[in-house]
Chain A
């Protein structure tokens, strides 16, 4: 194993600074995510976890620092261009297309994988039909994968919270990303739903080989499924490493794990 060539870095974040007025959301933050791995980001509320994802996908613009995706600098790109490069995400507070059903939410996410133009679409001419069918099958497979068949044709605005979280993941997967950013995919779920979600995330990594950045509060889950953890506090990285190392880091225990360490998890 020692002779193994190092796997390529999928995402590299360098010295990110982001502030809102006086609030420093990110303070010279750097980390790397290795291709095919799951990296966890943990930290107390307001530590800057969501802001980190927002910078990566271009939703926030960092004042300083650079972000590289597969060695390509993406720091100044617009969110829609970054998505097209193969970075997709889910949202802490689910952001679905509420008026569309599950199938169409996923189909809508794939829009940039369609080659036919809007004129061809309007005439329903040429490759339009073939593409619609092809992408519909791909969407059906994801629905299958996430066990969402029952809700396929339900308008998502009306579905229960746990299901919508799963659809949010499905929509991100529908983009066939290379890098998946998950912002608290298990927040507000019961134990069973959390187990399902953890299983889906592991399957995504193993079956599809997608690199994942995962923000999660449930330490048990994070320790179980991540390959590496970055710990944030007040926008600064206070620790980084494999779960079992971070777990024992005194700085981390003091800053963040304190409460959890005291109570049985």
Chain B
């Protein structure tokens, strides 16, 4: 829905991401706001923003694989690990420039995605989900094996420095914001061009897609490659943010979180992915604060229960969203915008 009085008269206008001057201004304002957040938010929340940015990038990968192409993946955290370990190994142990390992991290994860995407030729649905779960455990198992990947103590990752000085948290937030913005731009472009339409065709009707000239195997593999490439980039960010990584970071439940993010955001929209990541991270941030309060209020519960609470609440949030907002947050936002545009009259 366009703002009132604005019409598309040429396809060029219809296809643009940003259509009116007001939208440009809003976008610029939002970016400036996000940048300045790094200046006055307490460090704890800056770190939180960094994590939202990193998870958004990984969830965008799931958005492409699952949301667009319909190939469920439950191994995104492991592909993140491939990216993180690529930079830890090359930039950390071998002294390569992190700027060089940024695309390499994406590439290694993407190639890993190709390997585990191959079964998608023959199997779909539930069984494909099983192979992606297998990807999670096989990759993490493989990373744990060799000694030089530092299974016990983890691997050190060098801090990123610009002009000789290592980035502080606020500056790392700007870097994350920049990378996330670029990845968002790429994801949006993939979605609105030929490749994205091909993905959706495979998702909606693979038989028709094949008859209409789409090579199913290559298209699915491409979705896996791109989706896992995003995971690798997210892994790179995470590694250079934490400065030390170990296999325990890249859990199966993290993989599930990424799926939850796109479900909450509304499958099929990039803006929704950002919202989904924000909401999940907010739950994650607030629940630990709730647990001690609950533990004090109901001492009989003991202290293990509040710890488990985070997971239960997380599950509840996802279920609630599926029940109440099955089309996701993005859809709701569109509805609200539509309402204010039509009522009473907005010129």
Measured CB to CB, the residues of A under 8 A from B are 57, 59, 78-80, 83-84, 88-89, 91, 95-100, 104, 107-109, 111-112, 114, 116, 118, 121-124, 128-129, 131-133, 136-137, 140, 171, 175
Minimum distance in angstroms from B327 CB to a CB of chain A: 12
Chain B contacts of A137 at CB under 8 A?
11
Chain A contacts of B186 at CB under 8 A?
122-123
Which residue of B15, B194, B214 contacts A80 across the interface (Cβ within 8 Å)? B214
Chain A contacts of B189 at CB under 8 A?
121-124, 128
Chain A contacts of B201 at CB under 8 A?
97, 100, 108, 111
Within 8 A of A (CB), among B198-251: 198, 200-201, 203-205, 207-216, 222, 226
Number of A-B contacts (CB under 8 A): 108
Measured CB to CB, the residues of B under 8 A from A are 11-12, 14-15, 186, 189-190, 193-198, 200-201, 203-205, 207-216, 222, 226, 268
Taking A111-B197, A118-B194 as given, write out 15 further A-B residue pairs in contact, using a Cβ cutoff of 8 Å, ordered by the A residue number: A59-B210, A79-B213, A80-B211, A80-B212, A95-B207, A99-B268, A108-B212, A111-B213, A116-B194, A121-B189, A122-B189, A122-B226, A123-B189, A129-B15, A175-B212
Chain A contacts of B198 at CB under 8 A?
108, 111
Can you list 21 A-B pairs, Cβ within 8 angstroms, ordered by A?
Answer: A78-B215, A79-B213, A80-B211, A97-B209, A98-B205, A100-B201, A108-B212, A109-B213, A111-B213, A118-B190, A118-B194, A121-B189, A121-B194, A122-B190, A122-B195, A123-B186, A124-B189, A132-B193, A133-B11, A171-B212, A175-B213
Chain A contacts of B214 at CB under 8 A?
80, 111
Which residue of A79, A111, A116, A131 contacts B210 across the interface (Cβ within 8 Å)? A79
A57-B211 CB under 8 A given contacts A97-B205, A140-B11 = yes
- Bound-state CA distance A97–B209 (Å) is 8
- Bound-state CA distance A80–B226 (Å) is 22
Is the beta-carbon distance between A99 and B194 smaller than 8 angstroms?
no
Is the beta-carbon distance between A136 and B212 smaller than 8 angstroms?
no
**Residue in chain A with minimal CB distance to B70:** A99
- Bound-state CA distance A59–B207 (Å) is 9
Minimum distance in angstroms from B106 CB to a CB of chain A: 12
**Residue in chain A with minimal CB distance to B203:** A99
**Residue in chain A with minimal CB distance to B215:** A80
Is the beta-carbon distance between B213 and A84 smaller than 8 angstroms?
yes
Which residue of A79, A98, A108, A140 contacts B197 across the interface (Cβ within 8 Å)? A108
Chain B contacts of A136 at CB under 8 A?
11, 14-15
- Bound-state CA distance A123–B214 (Å) is 22
Which residue of A78, A80, A95, A104 contacts B205 across the interface (Cβ within 8 Å)? A95
Is the beta-carbon distance between A107 and B197 smaller than 8 angstroms?
yes
